[in-house]
Chain A
Amino acid sequence: GENVEQHPSTLSVQEGDSAVIKCTYSDSASNYFPWYKQELGKRPQLIIDIRSNVGEKKDQRIAVTLNKTAKHFSLHITETQPEDSAVYFCAASGRGSTLGRLYFGRGTQLTVWP
């Protein structure tokens, strides 16, 4: 099945700086790549997603880029704020017999210092 690796596992930045989290996937047929944010004690919530027919997508301070050739995708957060502190998960979709599944990375703990 699909294998998703996520780096770094922890990331600390100063308020106002940018943060980048990177993920790689193994199955070139994966075509859907969501990112989830999970605050302490809360449910994971979708913050942005990208499909394989698009190379980049932006939503205010958040952007995701996808490189299908290299099989990696990244989350970019600009002008970070303390409320961006959370665990972020990337995921890639399954295909064929595993259609409907998401394969998650192990998460990145982002801390934004004021």
Chain B
Amino acid sequence: NAGVTQTPKFRVLKTGQSMTLLCAQDMNHEYMYWYRQDPGMGLRLIHYSVGEGTTAKGEVPDGYNVSRLKKQNFLLGLESAAPSQTSVYFCASSYLQGILQPQHFGDGTRLSIL
């Protein structure tokens, strides 16, 4: 049981390049989330999904797109990377069992945009 797995762990991009971050969970969780973490800013929600085929905007969605084609996977895309998107990206998952359950986080992806 791997929990939440993020790939890649590190990446360096040039401004204007595109890339996709992959999050996979093996806990059969309905909810999945993408956060970015910058110094002093805490965890800010980019997009999230409450089930397969659904996505919703979070606090800082601009410049990112997401897809949830399979329940276990949640992809985060940067179509044209900008230096302001340099950050650590965390994926998380959780579920409802009558009431909201804790979010489980992946190890993060460290992304630098030059």
Contact = CB atoms under 8 A, between A and B. Distances in A.
Nearest to B32: A100
Interface in B93-114: 94, 96, 99-100, 102-108
Interface stretch (A11-19, A58-66, A67-75, A103-111): A103-111
A11 to B, nearest CB: 15
A51 B105 contact: no
A54 interface: no
Interface in B25-42: 31, 33, 40-42
Interface in A18-48: 31-32, 34, 42-46
A106 B31 contact: no
Contacts of B103: 34, 46, 102
B105 A32 contact: no
Interface residues of B, number: 23
A100 B102 contact: no
Contacts of A80: none
B49 to A, nearest CB: 9
Given A44-B43, A49-B102, A89-B42, A100 B50 contact: yes
A57 interface: no
A85 interface: no
A89 B35 CA distance: 14
A43 B106 contact: yes
B29 to A, nearest CB: 10
B58 interface: yes
A93 B103 CA distance: 11
In the complex, which of the residues A45, A89, A104, A106 has the most CB atoms of chain B within 10 Å of its own CB atom?
A: A104
A106 B90 contact: no
13 contacts: A6-B42, A32-B100, A34-B103, A42-B107, A43-B107, A46-B102, A89-B42, A93-B100, A99-B96, A100-B96, A101-B33, A102-B45, A106-B41
Interface of A: 6, 9, 31-32, 34, 42-46, 49, 51, 89, 93, 99-102, 104-107
Sorted nearest first, the 10 A-B pairs with minimum C-beta distance are: A106-B42, A43-B105, A104-B43, A46-B102, A100-B31, A104-B42, A107-B42, A32-B100, A44-B105, A43-B107
